[in-house]
Amino acid sequence: MVKIITDSTASFPPGMIEKHNITVVPIYINFEDDSYRDGIDIDNETFIIKLKSAKPLPTTSAPSPKFFAEAFRRLAAHGESLLCILVSGQMSATYNAAVLAAESLPHLDIRVIDSKLCSGPLGTLVTKAAEWSDEGLNVDNIKERVNKMIERGRIYFMVDDLKFLARSGRVSAPKALFGSLLQLKPILTFKEGSIVEYVRTRTQHRATERMIEVVRDLYPSDGSGFISVMHANALESAHQFAEELKQRFDLKETPPIFNLSTGIVLHAGPGIFGPGFFVSE
C-alpha cells in the first residue's frame, strides 16, 4: 500500500483523514514572536481573530526538511512507498522542504508532488490518491493520475476587503481606498500555482454571479468535478453560495464547505469565499 502525505492547507470532510490514514504535516503561522502549528496550536477561528488586529501581518513558514525526513523514515519503516502531495510551491516553501528531505533519503521510495492548488481541491487530490492506494494501485500509477487531475484544478474567490491586499503589497493603499469606496470586489484565481486577479466586479452580488457563471462555463455537466466552496470568516456567504450552486446546476448534494488556507487569507483577508473544482479532461 502507498502511504499518502499532505500538509495542513488541505481541506477534508470530517473523518476522511482517519478513514484513509492520511498523514498531515502542519505548516507554521508566525505572529511576531509567536509561532503556531496550523491546526494543532491554532484553529481557523483564532487565526482570523488574531489576523484582524495583527501589525505587522503574520507570516507562514514551511516545516523543515529535517521534520519531513523524520516523518518519511517513520512512514516507510517497512518499505512502503510514499506519495507526498503538497500546497502550491508558489505559495509556500513546503514543497521544496519535502523535496530536500526526499533527496536525503535515496534508499526510500518517496515521490513529492507540487499540487499548484490548496484547500478543497488539494484535499480532493489527496483523498483520490488515498482511495487509489486502497484499491491497490502502485505509486507510479497514482502519481500519474494525480498529475493529470492537477492540470484540471480550478480555484476562484472573491476578496471582500481590499485593505488586506494593500497590506500584503498586492495593490497600493490609494487603490485599495478608491476600490473600497466603489465597493470593488475583485475575484482572484490560481494560475500555475500563483494567485492572480481574474476579474474586477462591483458589489458582492455581482461577484457571486460572476463566480456562478465561471462554474456554469467550466464545471463538468455530469457533476464529476468534486466541487467545494471555500471561505475565510464568511460562513453565511459560503452556505448561501453552496445552496445556490446546488439549485442552479441540479447537483445531487450541496457542495462541502471548507476553510481557505492561511496562505490565501494572509494576502486577501477575512470575508473571502468561492468555489474550487476540477474541469473535464
The answer to whether 156 and 245 are in contact (CB under 8 A) is: no
User: Measured on CA atoms in the order 143, 148, 149, 150, is the torsion positive or negative?
Assistant: positive
CATH 3.40.50.10170-classified regions of the chain:
3-27+62-150
Q: Which CATH class is domain 153-278?
A: alpha beta
154 against 181, higher pLDDT: 154
The pLDDT value recorded for residue 177 is: 38
Average pLDDT of the chain to the nearest whole number:
90
For the chain, where are the alpha helices, taking DSSP H only? 16-20, 44-53, 65-75, 94-103, 119-134, 139-150, 162-167, 173-181, 204-218, 235-248, 262-268
Quick one: pLDDT band at residue 75, thresholds 50, 70, 90? very high
All CATH 3.30.1180.10 domain ranges of the chain, comma separated, are 153-278
Per-residue model confidence (pLDDT) at position 221: 87
| Structure confidence at residue 281 (pLDDT) | 86
pLDDT tens sequence across 167-210: 554 443 334 333 443 467 889 899 898 888 899 898 899 999 99
| % of the chain at pLDDT higher than 90 | 70
Give the pLDDT band (50/70/90) at residue 165.
low
User: Could you report the per-residue pLDDT of 96-131, keeping only the tens digit for each?
Assistant: 999 999 999 999 999 999 999 999 999 999 999 999
Average pLDDT on 52-60 reads 85
- The predicted pLDDT at position 264 comes to 77
The pLDDT of residue 269 is: 83
Binned at pLDDT 50, 70 and 90, residue 41 comes out as very high
Query: Of the ranges 163-167, 168-172, 208-212, 259-263, which is most confident?
Result: 208-212
Binned at pLDDT 50, 70 and 90, residue 28 comes out as: very high
The pLDDT, as a whole number, for residue 167 is 57
Write out the H or E segment, with its range, that includes residue 28.
strand 28-31
Q: For residue 185, what is its C-alpha cell?
A: 470586489
Task: Report CA-CA distances (Å) from 110 to 1, 83, 106, 107, 123.
Answer: 13, 6, 8, 9, 20
Of 26, 190, 219, 25, which Cα lies nearest the Cα of 116?
Answer: 190
What pLDDT score does 257 carry?
95
For the segment(s) 3-27+62-150, the CATH number from 2.60.120.460, 1.20.140.10, 3.40.50.10170, 2.102.10.10 is 3.40.50.10170
pLDDT value at residue 33? 83
93: left (phi over 0), alpha (psi -120 to 50) or beta: alpha
